[in-house]
Amino acid sequence: MFVFSKLVWIFGQPLSLAFFLGLLAFIATLLRWRASAITASLLSLLILFVALYTTAGAYVVQGLEERFPRAAADPADLKCMIVLGGATQNEVTTARGGYELDSAGDRLVEALRLAQKYPQARIVISGGDGSIGGSYEGDAVISERFFTALGISTSRMVEDRTSRTTFENAVNTKELLAQNGLSDCLLITSGFHMPRSMGIFRKQGIPVVPWPVDYRSTGKETLRFDFTQPSLNAQLLATGLREWTGLVGYYFVGRTSALYPAP
């Protein structure tokens, strides 16, 4: 299931799909299948245009981010927080050491802020090596280095070093929470990832408080043309569609509590 989901997304994301449609058009042209060649070419160009030169990606991501609003203030008290993996550059860090953060690094930054404000809070770090080859340091290992380098004691950390997916995050975290007598933790992950995460944690019967971070949209996005940042537009569309693919797929295999979880 894990490898299958990885492969589906490698070939199914917008730019990959546009490439394969272009390849199909080329083959159809060689075989003189004129109608098929034209159809595949037009679909490829349409996907490229929407991905690169519209705000469709930001708009989709914004919808996911707005599903679980950010809290108006910090909690009065905090006993534990769960930080989902995906915030580190595993390949680079494995080669160079340290703790290189990626675009989701806000997950660790926010957890550090809360850990400093609430010295009694435990930090559950959930994340192994999510690559197909499994040859890199996992998020939990790298995150531990990050927290200890910035003054957080390892005695406050509870680590899940094996999970590769959000579903495995929830399953492994449930066991760790029971072992350590922890409950009603904050769930820290990216805003766009929160609906799927909450659906999975609810399905596992884990009560958590959503604590979204790492916003990618302004909250004021509209559907329009945008020729100023094609690479970012494509990245945002891939991010949004990947989450929706996960939401739909997880719902139909019974891993989430709802198709589109809400507060």
Average confidence score pLDDT of the chain = 95
pLDDT tens digits for 232-262?
999 999 999 999 999 999 999 999 999 999 9
Say what the pLDDT of residue 214 is: 98
Local structure of residue 15 (DSSP, 8 states):
H
Confidence of residue 69 (pLDDT cuts 50, 70, 90): very high
| HEC assignment per residue over 74-135 | CCCCCCEEEEECCCECHHHHHHHCCCCECCCCHHHHHHHHHHHHCCCCEEEEECCCCCCCCC
- Residue 1: the pLDDT is 64
CA atoms of 237 and 15, how far apart (whole Å): 10
Question: With bands split at pLDDT 50, 70 and 90, how would you rate the model's confidence at 224?
Answer: very high
Angstrom distance (rounded) from CA 100 to CA 78: 27
> H or E element: which one contains 159?
strand 157-160
Give long-range contacts, CB 8 A cutoff, 24+ apart: 136-139: 136/90, 136/91, 136/93, 136/94, 137/90, 137/93, 137/94, 138/85, 138/90, 138/162, 139/85, 139/86, 139/87, 139/88, 139/90
Give the chain's length.
263
Any idea what the Cα angle at residue 197 is, between residues 71 and 95, rounded to 5°? 105
136: β partners: none
Tell me how far apart the terminal alpha carbons of the chain are, to the nearest angstrom. 29
Helix (H) or strand (E) run with residue 25 in it: helix 14-30
Confidence bin at 2 (pLDDT 50/70/90): low
pTM: 0.93
